[in-house]
Amino acid sequence: MKKQPEHNRKNIPPQDTAKAPKSAVSRSMRTRAIVLAALFVLVGFGAVVYNLYQLQIVQHDELAARAENQQLADETITPNRGVIYDSDMKVLARSNKVWTVVASPRDMAKSGTNINDVAVKLAELLELDAQSILEKLQKSESNYQLIKRQIEKPVADAITAWITEYNASDKGKDTPVAGISLVQDAKRYYPYQTLASTIIGFVNADGDGVLGIESYYNDTLKGTAGRVVGMKNAWGYDLPNGTYEAAYDAEDGNGLVLTLNASIQSTLEKYLQNAVDQYHVENRAVGIVMDVNTGAILAMATMPDYNLQDPYTIADEALAAQIAAIADENERADAKYTAQWAQWRNKAVADLYYPGSVFKVITASAALDSGAANLNTSYTCKGSITVAGRTMRCAHTNHGTLDFFGGLDGSCNPYYVTLGQMMGAETFCNYMQAFGFYEKTGIDMDDEGTTQYVPLEKMGPVELASSAFGQTTSTTPIQMITAACAVINGGYLVQPHVVKQVLDADGNIVENVEPEVKRQVLSAETSATMRELLTRSVNMTAADGKTLTGGNKTGYVAGYKAGGKSGTSQRKQALSDEEQTYYSSYWGFAPGDDPQIAVLVMLDTPHDEQGTYYGGRLAAPVVQSVLDEALQTLGVPKEYTEAELAKVETAVPNVVGSSVNAAAGKLRESGFNVDIERATGDTVLYQYPAAGTIVPRQSTIILYSEDRSESGGDLVTVPNLTDMSYDAACATLKSLGLNVSEKGVTGGGSTIVVTEQDIAADTQVEIGSVIEVTFHDTTVLD
């Protein structure tokens, strides 16, 4: 012990070392203190024993489970999402195995891994930035760093091979690569990429459906995830003596067979996009192809569409460039978000529009079915009608006196105002409800829009009048085509649907989706009458009597006796200083005697260079082409009239090597005309059009008795046919030795004029060439 300073010792009084005698009182106090201390010790020890008993005996199982749960690592096994097929079992969407690359910087640090080497190699294989990867690998306290999601098998194999090779090298023996894991995942593939994009929808990064079938049937498609559970310590390492590990298999999702036919879908999209491009459609175009008897959707499209494999990229390049040019970051993000949702939106189901004169098939059938009108009901159109002080105009100057068919064929607004008045508001509204306009169709897709209509209690004379010709009620395209199909399928309102079957993961049928009839709206007799009137309106020729000025006839399809109705409606009431915009639409069906399918096309705000916006001119040709090709795809045979048969396109037979007389006879037997002016010898050595070329019957085949296979036949200059009448255009081409393939509205008369020709004026072509000419009727105003 260190000596204390002298002065301190002086200040300490001396201690008395003599011991004092022990008294009885002090002994008693000491005894009590000892007893009390012993008691405290006993109580404390008892509490410890009790707690140990509770922990080790009574609560052992519960606490062990808690501890085990804190030590368990739970790894999810992703199930395979169900396959989506078209009606012919073509794969529209499927999930394949991919891998996610993850790193454990903690394991790397523990193993002495050279993270610079790893970062450089992963950057090369994954096409990423090496510095960004390195920054993640430097987080040495982390057990998990995501490097890249959803890599394909070749890349995953390359990573595994590199790690194996590296670790086998001299360098790898000192600094082995550890802590890199490839976690199995699934990636959704859409083989057709853009086909039916607004119908199918897509999945997000977590594999859940976003929009369309992927969203509506998400629970059916996604399956149930599996799990692998193992023992880990607090730092995430495997416990060496872990006694618990279990695996729960994933259950793959069910597949779906759609009612969509990929070929018909492709046809619809092709012609819709052509219309968008040709008529500069501002707000996209919609098309639906429906089985009129079952409600099955064979095709549905909104164009332009987007790529399902890359849904977040704006498909419209011009719009994408405009968005990219926005300087403000927030404004640019908002614009991109808006554009994405616009391109994803299924206008056929979600958006409302005014159907215009297409709605007249509802009013007409209701008037007939209710007995308010008959085929002889007449009205004299003077160009307008006044209801409760409001003047409602016809699209035409005046029609004169019309019967029921005349009102339908001419699409006369005042005539339909009169039909509405004859029925009265209550009857009209009852049929509106029966046709389904007061409820959603119930199609198996998300975000179906709800029809906006005037209810009975608010329907005055003006509202009834405008509703009767289709300008007041706004509805969805799917609602309109569903109601219109009830007009011609026997009177039955059917449930539209896009799923045909549900399959299990092995391809076995789990469920068949049966067609559903909601109710009968019209009598079979009324439906048959409407079917005949609508078919006659489209197929009427000059021999049958002069057709009126409606746009129905522009939906004509040779061999299928199609029926239909055109429609044009204002999008909104234009202000004095802005352009009035329109919906241009057409609904058609075929074959007329036994309808199989119907097609509805709607162009939202077209800007035709000729200033045309009528549905009969713009939308009808799309329906015409889709009906023709779709019915052929379905194997529905054509039944031609004699006049149609004369214009059917067929292959030119080979007559080269035959005598001129024999060649001419063979061609005439096949329905062709023959020009032998250049066949001055005995044998045909060259013909044009060549053998096998598909041309209309009654085309003229040019024969030569000299071999022109190298030099070609004689040339002629193609004339400018624009705005020529049908008769003048055909005569001009014939005089030049050229053949014509007719598109659009055909037939004689000065009102049928040329709008397009596929070979430009002043082009040099061989005599006998076929010029495709598109005609339209200048009297079409609907």
Percent of the chain, pLDDT > 70?
A: 85
pLDDT (0 to 100) of residue 78: 77
How buried is 47 (Cβ within 10 angstroms: 0-12 exposed, 13-18 middle, 19+ buried)?
exposed
pLDDT tens digits, 156-205: 999 999 999 999 999 988 899 999 999 888 899 999 999 999 999 999 98
What average pLDDT does the chain have? 88
* Residue 397 reports pLDDT greater than 80: no
pLDDT (0 to 100) of residue 60: 52
CATH number of 758's domain? 3.30.10.20
Q: Any idea which of 80-89, 144-153, 273-282, 748-757 has the lowest mean pLDDT? A: 748-757
Report which of 380, 378, 305 is spatially closest to residue 347, judged by C-alpha positions. Answer: 305
Report yes or no on 15 lying in a domain: no
Report yes or no on 280 lying in a domain: no
Same domain, 591 and 670: no
User: What is the pLDDT averaged over residues 560-583?
Assistant: 82
Q: Any idea which of 177-191, 427-441, 494-508 has the lowest mean pLDDT? A: 177-191
Same domain, 536 and 655: no
Same domain, 593 and 662: no
Q: How far apart are CA 535 and CA 405, in angstroms?
A: 11
Q: How far apart are CA 672 and CA 510, in angstroms?
A: 55
Instruction: Give the type of residue at 222.
Output: K
User: What is the pLDDT averaged over residues 399-426?
Assistant: 95
Same domain, 627 and 646: no
pLDDT (0 to 100) of residue 236: 47
pLDDT (0 to 100) of residue 433: 98
Report yes or no on 58 lying in a domain: no
Picking from 203, 234, 258, the residue at the C-terminal end of a domain is 258
pLDDT (0 to 100) of residue 71: 47
* Residue 147 reports pLDDT greater than 90: yes
Report which of 726, 721, 716 is spatially closest to residue 778, judged by C-alpha positions. Answer: 726
C-alpha 518: how far from chain center: 26
* Residue 455 reports pLDDT greater than 80: yes
Domain with 199, as residue range(s), is 74-258
* Residue 131 reports pLDDT greater than 90: yes
Q: Which of 492-506, 531-545, 598-612 has the highest mean pLDDT?
A: 492-506
Same domain, 205 and 228: yes
Same domain, 442 and 557: yes
pLDDT tens digits, 600-653: 999 999 998 878 899 999 999 999 999 999 999 999 999 998 888 888 999 999
pLDDT (0 to 100) of residue 647: 85
Q: Which two tokens stand for residue 195?
A: 């086909």
More confident residue, 653 or 247: 653
pLDDT (0 to 100) of residue 644: 87
pLDDT (0 to 100) of residue 255: 98
Same domain, 662 and 716: yes
Same domain, 469 and 452: yes
Picking from 223, 258, 293, the residue at the C-terminal end of a domain is 258
Same domain, 369 and 503: yes
Model pTM score: 0.84
Pairing of strands 84-85, 255-258: parallel
pLDDT (0 to 100) of residue 3: 39
User: DSSP readout, 674-723?
Assistant: EEEEE--SSB--EEESPTT-EEETTPEEEEESS--TTT-S-EEEPP--TT
Same domain, 469 and 560: yes
pLDDT (0 to 100) of residue 611: 81
CATH number of 137's domain? 3.90.1310.10
Residues shown for the chain: 782
Report yes or no on 359 lying in a domain: yes
Q: Any idea which of 3-17, 49-63, 289-303, 306-320 has the lowest mean pLDDT? A: 3-17
- The CA-atom distances, in angstroms, between 197 and each of 215, 479, 595, 725 are 13, 20, 28, 41
pLDDT (0 to 100) of residue 552: 67
Provide the pLDDT confidence category of residue 7 given band limits of 50, 70 and 90: very low
Picking from 588, 606, 633, the residue at the C-terminal end of a domain is 633
Report yes or no on 545 lying in a domain: yes
Report yes or no on 315 lying in a domain: no
Q: How far apart are CA 517 and CA 528, in angstroms?
A: 18
Same domain, 501 and 382: yes
- Number of structural domains, the chain? 3
CATH number of 448's domain? 3.40.710.10
Report yes or no on 63 lying in a domain: no
Report yes or no on 626 lying in a domain: yes
Same domain, 622 and 654: no
**SS in 3 state form for 443-483?**
CCCCCCCCCECCCHHHCCHHHHHHHHCCCCCEECHHHHHHH
